[in-house]
Structure 1
Amino acid sequence: MKAVQLSSHGDRDVIEYGEFPDPEIGRNEVLVDVKAAALNHLDVWTRRGLPGLDLRFPHVPGSDMAGVVEEVGEDVTRVQPGDRVAVFAALSGEAAAEITGDAADAGDAEFPRRDDLTLSPGFAIIGENTPGVHAEYAAVPASNLVPVPDHVDWEVAGSAGLVFGTAWRMLVHRAEVKPGEHVLVHGASGGVGHAAVQIADYAGCEVYATASSSEKLDYAVECGADHGINYEEADFAAEIDELTDGRGVDVVVDHIGDATYAGSLKSLRKGGRLVTCGATTGPNPDADLKRIFWKQLSVIGSTMATMGQAEEVLDLVWQGVFEPRVRATLPMSQMARAHEMIENREGFGKVVVIPDSEL
């Protein structure tokens, strides 16, 4: 088969697309004929080399995809050949323990209990810690597959899992947003950001979105934002102060880190919550503890969703309640260009890649 491969950590020139050994499935795994896949900022970090990330090269990246089941392992009963499926990339239980060495987390659970709201210490991610899905075929645990209805386009199915699962966990299960609350979403043009805008709007919140251009803000409004703030032209914290008559927002969704953290805390009302799932501009801002204790703020960490949470939100995606916006669809052989779009923050929404053999 052909697959995207990283020859080492580094810049985009380490990305290759070419022949790679066909994957072999284990007893609890499924071979999927990939129809569409998508990029996340995680793919950029994996390529560059996250601190502590120890990969075996060549490495196939990728955490989002959808396709048709080609073959199942002998112990698999959840799916069968011919099924349409999407992958959800968070591994736990035995699968993660094999990767992380966290034997204490190994058990007979399939990721782990599907309604469990606690991610285990042995948490790992397909495409980061294991071979990924940016290939013509992918071998994944059967427990990480979600059925895809016939009416759902491959581009939608292949790009929704990671970002909508992450945003759903952040807002619904961690920040516990309520109707009528005011929610500020940073980076509303990105994958998690545009998903968070839609989820906050669905929850009945007043939504404030930041982005770097008027065009991106127009898209954010289409997704459900009530107010748009161009952070290239204005101090977003000052804008929030004016738009809320000095009250501040109840929740800030911040996956940016250093560049937005101080302003995010300033934007919160007394007793407000900042929920974060990442730090693309740096992980170590000034903690500003005085502001946190004086205003009784909560800073809440969040990760990818559990499988049960992913199933909740993907059901809504399949119903058309939420829509992954696709900024571009490219052949997998143009993966370097796809990474460039993510790194340069070009466009709005997800970048989808299709195996060249499917085009």
Structure 2
Amino acid sequence: MRAAAFTGFGGPEHVTIESFDDPEPGPEEAVLQVEACSINHHDLWILNGDFWVGEDQLPYVAGMDVAGTVSAIGNDVEHLETGERVLLCPNQTCGSCRFCREGPESHCERFSLYHGGLAEYATVRADRLVPLSDAVDPVEAAALPVSYMTAFRMLEAAEVGPGDLVFVPGATGGVGVATVQLASVLGARTIGTSTSRAKLGRLEALGADHTIESGDPDEIRESVLEIGRVDATINHLGGPFSEVGLNVLRRGGRMVICGQTAGPTSTLTLDDLFLNQKRVIGSTMGTQGDLERLLDLVEGGRLDPVVHERYPLAETDRAFADMADRSAVGKLVVEP
């Protein structure tokens, strides 16, 4: 089979098409013929050499968000048949810690994420596959897992409901776009930021109620407060935007943080935190149940995952180049 593999670390020039042996499933696994796999900043960080993968693991095939058709199943798999259309939940959990037993599984003590979807075939855990109806385009389905699961779980952690005002710094990235769309589904209002007026126009078309064209934290703080204090901040940027996200909350407001794209450390004003009884909550991904609920929203016509562009497998390097230059609004999806 062919796969888009990282053969070195750095830029998209290290993404090349390589040949690998066709995979065979283990006893509890399935092999998918991949129809679509979206890419994420997590994949880009691996390509840049920032995450977990060493030179001894090259060539490395990334890709977490996989939709496809079951082409083979292991001997112990009873709930699947070949030919079924499915979507992979990329969560990798131990199955035995108290969080795996009692939930939520995203708290698993050995939580990790699947990689290997940027290929013609992918070997996956069979119990991580969610049925995909004929009504859902596999490209749209592949847009869901990482970005939309993460946003869905963050909105739940922030207890967002109808009428709430939600602040989304960096709202034109994958998690930001998903947050704006899902907040609208929940009946909440949103404030989104970006340094690009064109991207904000796209965000407004997706349902953002207020937009702020700025990347300056102090300027953003002032602009948000002019609109009004918010019930929740959904923060995938980290860095200096965490202090802003805390400052603009109303009394008793909640900020949920899932990333550190803008930096790994933040300064928080503690008297603002405790005197105003605000909450700061960490969040990673979501659960397989969350993914099933997201698919229900898509099938019911209440959510349209945003896909910026589709790429053939041979142009996976271009997909990573487009992600690196931050020109996209929505997901970049490879179709092997």
**TM-score using structure 1 length:** 0.87
In structure 2, relative to structure 1, the CA distance for the partners of 1:86 and 1:200 (3 Å cut) is: same
Q: 8 Å contact 1:164–1:314 — kept in the other structure?
A: no
Matched, 1:177 2:160: yes
Which residue of 119, 122, 144 maps to 2:107? 119
Q: Distance in 1 between matches of 2:212 and 2:301?
A: 27
Matched, 1:72 2:73: yes
* Counterpart in the other structure of 1:279: 260
Matched, 1:320 2:308: no
* Counterpart in the other structure of 2:62: 61
Which residue of 113, 120, 134 maps to 1:136? 120
* Counterpart in the other structure of 2:19: 19
* Counterpart in the other structure of 2:317: 336
The one-letter code of the counterpart of 2:313 is M
Q: Distance in 2 between matches of 1:313 and 1:325?
A: 13
Identity %: 37
The 5 Å alignment of 1:120-269 reads 120-127=108-115, 132-172=116-156, 174-232=157-215, 235-244=219-228, 248-269=229-250
The one-letter code of the counterpart of 1:242 is E
Q: Distance in 1 between matches of 2:273 and 2:143?
A: 36
Q: Distance in 1 between matches of 2:163 and 2:143?
A: 29
Q: Distance in 2 between matches of 1:68 and 1:52?
A: 29
Q: Distance in 2 between matches of 1:337 and 1:290?
A: 47
In structure 2, relative to structure 1, the CA distance for the partners of 1:182 and 1:113 (3 Å cut) is: same
Q: CA deviation at 1:148?
A: 0.8
Q: CA deviation at 1:118?
A: 5.3
The one-letter code of the counterpart of 1:134 is L
The one-letter code of the counterpart of 2:205 is E
Unaligned runs of 5+ in 2: none
Q: Secondary structure at the match of 2:262?
A: coil
* Counterpart in the other structure of 2:333: 352
Q: CA deviation at 1:289?
A: 2.5
Q: Distance in 1 between matches of 2:50 and 2:110?
A: 17
Q: CA deviation at 1:227?
A: 0.9
Q: Distance in 1 between matches of 2:305 and 2:161?
A: 23
Q: Deviations over 1:270-306 (max 9, x none)?
A: 2211101111121112233233223322111001111
In structure 2, relative to structure 1, the CA distance for the partners of 1:51 and 1:38 (3 Å cut) is: closer
Most deviating of 346-355 and 212-221: 212-221
Q: 8 Å contact 1:65–1:158 — kept in the other structure?
A: yes
* Counterpart in the other structure of 1:91: 92
In structure 2, relative to structure 1, the CA distance for the partners of 1:321 and 1:57 (3 Å cut) is: same
Unaligned runs of 5+ in 1: 95-103
Q: Distance in 2 between matches of 1:218 and 1:62?
A: 29
* Counterpart in the other structure of 1:97: none
The one-letter code of the counterpart of 2:214 is Y
RMSD across aligned positions (CA): 2.1
The one-letter code of the counterpart of 2:221 is A
Q: Secondary structure at the match of 1:61?
A: coil
* Counterpart in the other structure of 1:45: 45
Q: Deviations over 1:16-65 (max 9, x none)?
A: 11212222211111110011111111111122234555572211100012
Q: Deviations over 1:202-221 (max 9, x none)?
A: 11112111122222122222
Q: Distance in 2 between matches of 1:51 and 1:137?
A: 24
Q: CA deviation at 1:3?
A: 0.2
